[in-house]
Structure 1
């Protein structure tokens, strides 16, 4: 069979002899076709089969994407190896061209191996982070240093292959100029390291909303370059931040809020402490008209009746009895109101809590998250909530405190009218 193939190639070469470079071009095209077939078989058949085998033995709960990325990267070596091995059999190609194409194939192989090692380090970091003590002993920083070393060595190897010198000789020649290069390109090197770190851990991406008061930046990231990160502020001005600042200084990235799907409301209503009182029978009748408070009032009255029945046996005086307060009832109403509000994210933290009193009044803090992270929708939802709460306060006999308030005068007027 091999003899027949050789004879057929010889006949083909004789047939194409009148056409210069036709036979070499045909052989080169066949070589490229073989490399493509090798890549197709590796990717679509072998890699797909290996994917199914790994998923079967790993189980559905294990994430095998990182491992498959390593294998997929290594699979890219196959066509370059085929081309490098087959270039020697292509007739009439200039030796210089053959050497240059082989160097490119070898450089591609080195780059592919470096990328595969980078994915392998990522897979190792994912595996390590599943450990219980990974939070206290992270190794991501060390792995990023290892990535830098891998890519530096790969870059030097590629340069050595393309230039045609030994890697050791190239490193020796660069050693003497390293100090000079570091002095001249100090900012570039720092920016390069920062860019690698930023892209590696994904701390900043284009489209992120970041806030960095030290650089007067508060807006969306619109560009990430080697030396600068450009931020378009909300007032439409543009701020450029040195890339290294995002590594050496602190900043706030709002991407987590956007990905979580809820934006926090944390605001207090300052109440006049003089308006806090027990709920009498007339007040209880008025509060019973609130549909939201039906279950709360029923449950609270049963609880107070049981408590007061036990206390009354030893201390029948009314001062020892527990009673509803307008502030406690209002706090329960606010929580129930937020629980029924479709614009509030019900799967996130929701609190209505009383804070320590201040000279400006008694703070009642509302802590919750809106169902939409869009700025306009968030502000509209927050405003609607506090519009309603401020308007409904008088129904509970409560007053808002403010420094220029005339609440004391109104209170005195009410007492005179009574």
Structure 2
């Protein structure tokens, strides 16, 4: 081989530089052939091999191929960098240094991009872990990408100017203030990500509500700089990570974890429909299984109270009697406790609020045992459908404003529930 090269050198003495130009062209051809072999033969073989493997998802395999493909670009650059430094080419020292440094810079860039592809692969694999939504690492991987590009940039610049990288690093100390200004958002986002992760404030899949950022929906991504929220109308709101530290927001995760979703709604009753119940009406209401025990206890309590008043010679007007509103309130409470959709271990309350221009609010406060939105709305509607329909049995009326042009406030009169006209006691 050396004899052929020596003979070729003797033949190409004239014109000057012909031998070096020919050898450099041959080196370029060798690099091109190596690039073709790497891309169209080796990578295709690896492509088939990776897709034939039984393990891994298609997304994993695509990222593996991207990682290998980026490393394949190193092969022609290595051939050029090694070939120009060989004495056979007889190139000018300046040209050798330039070509070698450019190839080295290209190798540094390619390795950095390949390492970023590896970080993407790590993120995809990690997200399949059961604890990935509660501990996302995408922000830290993005920080790693930034560091990789910074290191690659320093190496590329040092290779192109043919200087030691340590010289550039020593100059970065004087540029610390400028770098702090450039990476201000990154530093703030990193600190916010650490606080969010350590305090477990937001996870992927959490439903958060942040009015200041017009965000109301599920968290679909937590990155270094931003948090993506898919709103109820399927729009995407991008919230800066630091806003989750500086601004207030509501996380509904506690509601889902507790297993109960709150119902807090009032029925507005016409105050003019509230009255005492007669004995016949009380006997009829005792047919309700839910409140017969309540009425029996109330009857014993009122009988004893009124007996003491009678013994004192007090007039009958001072006697205590059962009201339709109190009986209805007791019925509502027992109905909720027996409802299959109401959580029995959480707070359940039926209370009167302060009367106003729209009547007496009777507030129902309880929790459903199904936190899904559709099921929750169905349970809530079922409860209030029943309560509104059974109100006339207790001779109560719902307060509402008339829709005519007079704007008067009125209520539809309801006949008193006599035993022979009232519905049966089935609930």
TM range (shorter): 0.5 to 0.7
Give the match for residue 200 of structure 1: 198
> Could you list the runs of 5+ residues in structure 1 that have no partner in the other structure?
1-154, 164-168
Is the 2:208–2:219 contact (alpha carbons within 8 Å) kept by the matching residues of 1?
yes
Correspondent of 1:262 among 260, 263, 267: 260
Shift of the 413–308 alpha-carbon distance from structure 1 to 2, 3 Å rule, reads closer
Larger radius of gyration: 2
Is 1:310 the counterpart of 2:324? The answer is no
Inter-partner Cα distance in structure 2 for 1:386 and 1:411:
20
For 2:347, which of 346, 349, 359 is the aligned residue?
349
Residue 232 (structure 2) pairs with residue 230 (structure 1):
no
> Is the helix fraction higher in 1 or 2?
1
Q: Contact (CA 8 Å) 2:397, 2:412: kept in 1 or not?
A: no
CA contact (8 A) 1:399 1:407 kept: no
2:400 counterpart SS class: coil
Corresponding position of 2:294: 296
User: Per-residue deviation at 1:374?
Assistant: 0.6
Aligned-pair distance for 1:170? 12
Paired residues, what number? 251
How do residues 274-285 of structure 1 correspond to structure 2 at under 5 angstroms? 274-285=272-283
The 1-side partners of 2:328 and 2:413 are apart by: 20
Q: Hey, what's the Cα distance between the residues in 1 that align with 2:227 and 2:287?
A: 57
Alignment of 1:13-412 (within 5 A): 176-404=174-402, 408=410, 410-411=412-413
After TM superposition, give the deviation of residue 316 of structure 1 in Å. 2.5
The CA deviation at 1:404 is: 1.5
Q: CA 1:255 to 1:192, structure 2 compared with 1: closer, same or farther past 3 Å? A: same
Runs of 4 or more consecutive aligned structure 1 residues displaced over 4 Å after TM superposition: 169-175, 405-410
Report the Cα distance in structure 1 between the residues aligned to 2:178 and 2:357, rounded to whole angstroms: 63
Quote the offset at 1:289 in angstroms.
1.6
SS at match of 2:346: coil
Q: Which runs of 5+ in 2 are unaligned?
A: 1-146, 156-166, 417-427
Alignment of 1:2-21 (within 5 A): none
- The TM-score with structure 1 as length reference comes to 0.56
Question: Residue 271 of structure 1 contacts residue 361 of structure 1 at CA under 8 Å; is this kept in 2?
Answer: yes
Q: Shift of the alpha carbon at 1:173?
A: 7.3
Q: Once the two structures are superposed, what CA deviation does each residue of 1:43-89 show, in whole Å capped at 9, x if it has no partner?
A: xxxxxxxxxxxxxxxxxxxxxxxxxxxxxxxxxxxxxxxxxxxxxxx
CA offsets 1:17-62 (integer angstroms, 9 cap, x no match)? xxxxxxxxxxxxxxxxxxxxxxxxxxxxxxxxxxxxxxxxxxxxxx
Over aligned residue pairs, what C-alpha RMSD do you find? 2.8
> Residue 15 of structure 2 corresponds to which residue in structure 1?
none
Alpha-carbon distance in structure 1 between the residues aligned to 2:400 and 2:169: 73
User: Shift in Å at residue 390 of structure 1?
Assistant: 0.3
